[in-house]
Amino acid sequence: MVPGIVAFTGKFFPHSFTLLRNVADIMDFFEPDYFIELLFSGLTKGAIYALIALGYTMVYGIIGLINFAHGEIYMIGAFTALIVSTVLSIYGFPLLAIFILAAVAAVVWASAYGYTIERLAYRPLRNAPRLSPLISAIGMSIFLQNYVLLAQTSDFQPFPALVPDFAFMEPVAHIVGSTDLVILVVSVIVMILLTVMIKFTRTGKAMRATAQDKKMALLVGINVDNVISITFITGSALAAIGGLLIASHVGQINFYIGFIAGIKAFTAAVLGGIGSIPGAVLGSFILGLTESFATGYVSSDYEDVFAFSLLVLILIFRPAGLLGKSTIEKV
């Protein structure tokens, strides 16, 4: 019966066999090993974007400001980690101690920058039109890039691998590296901690109140200035951790790394719904996976085209992003 059907279809549809072969080709094309490799590349990329996007989305969620200098805080965190780890490795500290001390130094230093930037560039403009702090943020970003360019160097600097190659990762090293794993785990942990902090702590409650209505928050006795400072410090600390981990992964830094990483992370935050913590992580993973699969199955020439087409599509159907709350503007 079956040969008969094949002969029959073959007679009337001479192309049916090529069609079948094409289906097999497509199955080959999605070969499972390759798919999994691309999946993990995408997840790693997503986790990298998420580490930066979380800081963006948090600041936006609380004060409604797109902090364009966030990418530069990430870059300064990476530079601090580089300087501290270089000094410590000269004194022969063990790798774990270097990692922890460099992370602490990067967090402290970057937080100080975040706090200062807010005091200098954003607080005086708090009651100005919305565009003014935005321009101030762009100015801060350019200033910090050039400051590091002049104070440090314009050359690329090698960044040490602060995460060692774990022995248990060796069998899967061709799919996902040790640093990638740490980045993945850290970005998820950070997301959970942030959500818990905002949902369940007093500071978190104060943050949400500030986000809802600044004047009202003041009336019920919340120190809005402090809350905003804490927001910036937390966001900067996250950026610094991101800086340290991502620079370990990439292996090199210069004064400009914050810009492109910042743009991508910002895109991810908008995709997921800016202001939403889980949204930033979801958006980052979607962006990372899109880029990875576009590269893998189409061409890396079109990686950005796919990523931004997806952004446009999602924003058409969900203007507030995937997990963003759509607010109705009162006119």
Partner 1 sequence: MYTEKEEHHVLKPKSLHSFLAAFAFATGVSTGALAADTITIGVAGAHSGDLASYGLPTVKATELVVNDINEQGGINGMQLKMLAEDDVCKPEIATNTATKLVSENVNVVIGHICSGATKAALPIYRDANIIVMSPSATNPDLTQSGDYPNFYRTIASDDLQARTMVDFVTDKLHAQKVAIIHDKGDYGKGLAEFAKTFIEQAGKIEVVLFEGVTPGAVDYSSVVQKIKRSKADAVIYGGYHPEASKIVSQMRKKRLETAFLGPDGVKDDTFIKVAGANAEGVYATGPADVSQNPLTKKYRQKFIDQEGTDPGAFFNNAVAAALALTSAIEKAGSTDSEAIANALHNETAETPFGAIKFDASGEPIGIGFIMYQVKNGEYVQVQ
* Binding site residues, partner 1, CB under 8 A: 31, 34, 37-38, 40-42, 44-45, 48-49, 155-158, 173-175, 177, 180, 246, 249-252, 254, 256-257, 259-261, 264, 291-293, 295-296, 299-301, 303-304
Q: Residue 188 Cβ, how far from partner 1 at the closest point, in Å?
A: 18
Residue 107: CB partners within 8 Å, gap ≥ 6?
77, 237, 240, 241
Tell me which residue of 44, 77, 98 sits closest to 242, measured CA to CA: 77
Min. distance of Cβ 155 from partner 1 in angstroms? 6
Q: Which is nearer to partner 1, 222 or 239 (CB)?
A: 239
Angle formed by the axes of helices 202-212 and 32-63, to 10°? Answer: 70
Q: Which residues make Cβ contacts (< 8 Å) with residue 162, sequence separation at least 6? A: 81, 85, 95, 98, 99, 102, 244, 248
Shortest approach of partner 1 to residue 238 CB, angstroms?
16
| Pick 169 or 315: Cβ nearer partner 1 | 169
Nearer to partner 1 among residue 6 and residue 298 (C-beta): 298
Nearest to partner 1 of 110, 257 (CB atom): 257
CB of 222 to partner 1, least distance (A): 37
Give the C-alpha separation, 184 to 190, whole Å.
Answer: 10
Q: Which is nearer to partner 1, 253 or 323 (CB)?
A: 253
Q: How far is the CB of 251 from partner 1 (least distance, A)?
A: 5
Query: What are the angstrom distances between the C-alpha of 261 and each of 36, 72, 245, 308?
Result: 24, 10, 13, 15
Of 88 and 253, which has the nearer Cβ to partner 1?
253
Shortest CB 246 distance to partner 1, Å = 6
Question: Which among 181, 156, 136, 154 has a CA at the least distance from the CA of 44?
Answer: 181
Among residues 284, 266, 264, 269, the alpha carbon closest in space to that of 321 is found at 269
